[in-house]
Amino acid sequence: MAAVSDRLPAFPWDKLEPYKATAAAHADGIVDLSVGTPVDPVPELIQRALTGAADSPGYPTVWGTPALRDAITGWLRGRLGASAAGHRNVLPVVGSKELVAWLPTQLGLGAGDKVAYPRLAYPTYEVGARLCGAEAVVYDDPTELDPAGVKLLWLNSPSNPTGKVLPKEELIRIVAWAREHGVLLFSDECYLELGWEAEPVSVLHDEVCGGSYEGIVAVHSLSKRSNLAGYRAAFIAGDADVLGELLEIRKHGGMMTAAPVQAAVVAALGD
């Protein structure tokens, strides 16, 4: 039987090892930008929330505590302008990388389906397609894709690695295209709060999605915006039917966020 890992590309950071060795041999050493890992401390407030919930002997739930869902929906409404967000529109995940990698599988995609993502992109979109046996398709402009067979479309704004930010009008155009063709749109927005010259906008903003989350989901991570990469804290928000299905599957799969981490996220989003 063929190994599943045979479907995967070389692990990106392994591929970089020889280049790192060359750079490290330079007299002044290496400036290592290969992994975007936070180096600033976890804010005290978040650390206190984590340790305050250290006595958590029971199993947490995949959907999270009501307090966590309140914190997420409050943040979606206040920070993203997603005024219709309720509890059925949110689902915590164990860091966004696992979600990106396993989403196509959890959506039931496989051979004959297509997963599309930007030509220059975070490598895990491709990995997700390959893990479930779907075809990985790259795009320059998603609305120029042949929609036949495209079951999942990834956006990433602001983009890793290009930094490109999709303007509101562009998002409106892409959301309309995806809905017209029945393509499920997932927007990876884990750098949304780190805009530099531009003010990044979410697909969940009322003016982008028209106040309805049908066919669209945003992915958010606490790793970069709150220096929480070590906690594995993220969530998705949007279409209630899609999230309900994922909740069911993730419950059976035991993909729950640790209870102290849930408490830490409540503190982080409320700050």
Ligand X SMILES: Cc1ncc(COP(=O)(O)O)c(C=O)c1O
Binding span for ligand X by CB under 6 A among 46-54, 59-67, 140-148, 221-229: 221-229
Would you say 40 or 207 has its CB closer to ligand X?
40
Residue from the set 102, 122, 186, 235 that interacts with ligand X by CB under 6 A: 122
Contact at 8 Å (CB) between 91 and 126?
no
36 lines the binding site for ligand X (CB under 6 A): yes
SS3 for 189?
A: coil
Alpha-helical regions (H) of the chain: 12-24, 44-52, 66-80, 96-106, 124-132, 168-180, 206-209, 222-225, 240-252, 259-270
Q: Which residues pair with 236 in a beta bridge?
A: 91, 219
Question: In 3D, which of 240, 269, 193, 236 has the Cα closest to residue 96?
Answer: 236
Report if residue 229 touches ligand X, rule: CB under 6 A: yes
Chain centroid offset of residue 167 CA: 19
Query: In 3-state terms, what secondary structure has residue 133?
Result: coil
Among residues 53, 69, 87, 70, which one has the least CA distance to residue 263? 53
In the complex, what is the shortest distance from the CB of residue 33 to ligand X, in angstroms, rounded to a whole number? 12
Nearer to ligand X, 156 or 262 (CB): 156
If binding is defined by CB under 6 A, does position 221 make contact with ligand X? yes
CB of 219 to ligand X, least distance (A): 7
For every residue of 218-231, DSSP letters joined together read EEEEHHHHTT-GGG
Contacts of 20 (CB under 8 A, 6+ apart): 30, 32, 34
Nearest distance in Å: CB 203, ligand X: 15
Judged by beta carbon, residue 209 or residue 228, the one nearer ligand X is 228
CA distance 197 to 116: 27
Cβ proximity to ligand X, 166 vs 190, nearer residue:
190
- The answer to whether residue 234 forms part of the interface with ligand X (CB under 6 A) is yes
Closer residue to ligand X in complex, CB, 202/223? 223
Site string for ligand X, 171-200 (x = CB under 6 A): -----------------x-x----------
Say whether residue 235 binds ligand X (CB under 6 A): no
Q: Does residue 227 bind ligand X (CB under 6 A)? A: no
Which of 23, 42, 160, 170 touches ligand X by CB under 6 A? 160
Residue 62 interacts with ligand X (CB under 6 A): yes or no: no
Residues 154, 123: Cα–Cα separation, whole Å:
12
Build a one-symbol-per-residue string for 82-121: x at contacts with ligand X by CB under 6 A, - elsewhere.
Answer: -------------xxx--x---------------------
Please answer whether residues 118 and 139 qualify as being in contact, where contact means their C-beta atoms are separated by less than 8 angstroms: yes
> Where does this chain bind ligand X (CB under 6 A)?
36, 95-97, 100, 122, 156, 160, 188, 190, 221, 223, 229, 234
